[in-house]
């Protein structure tokens, strides 16, 4: 499990980059979604897998006792989810507007039309 998660992160980043480099706008959105998922999984892996531990220190203790869950990656993960959702929603609306205006979702056709004007 410890080696599978970093391999999954690398695979998701590679697939996201592959889709972002396509000339079709739907695949660009799919690439952004995969990049967001890879980032979330990366932050999850960085935080470490702990079971049965809490991020809160008991009253009797002055320091955290193993196993404990680090709250910083958890907070970063929640932030990354919210930011990723906002970016995805904005890109979907932007690409929908481009399609409604130019009746095309291929970046090559949009570039040719821009050069013709």
pLDDT tens by residue, 15-25: 999 999 988 88
pTM metric for this prediction: 0.72
pLDDT surpassing 70 at residue 90: yes
Q: Which of 6-20, 26-40, 68-82, 102-116 has the weakest average pLDDT?
A: 102-116
Domains, in order of start, for the chain: 4-116 (1.10.287.3510)
Q: 67 CB contacts (<8 Å, ≥6 apart)?
A: 50, 51, 52, 53
């Amino acid at each position: 499990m410890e080696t599978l998660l970093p391999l999954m992160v690398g695979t998701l980043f590679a697939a996201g980059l592959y889709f972002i480099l396509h000339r079709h706008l739907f695949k660009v959105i799919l690439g952004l979604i995969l990049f967001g998922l890879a980032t979330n999984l990366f932050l999850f892996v960085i935080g470490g897998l702990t079971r049965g531990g809490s991020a809160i220190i008991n009253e009797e203790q002055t320091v955290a006792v193993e196993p404990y869950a680090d709250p910083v990656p958890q907070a970063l993960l929640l932030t990354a989810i919210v930011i990723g959702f906002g970016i995805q929603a904005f890109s979907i609306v932007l690409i929908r507007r481009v399609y409604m205006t130019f009746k095309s979702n291929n970046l090559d056709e949009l570039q040719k039309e821009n050069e013709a004007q």
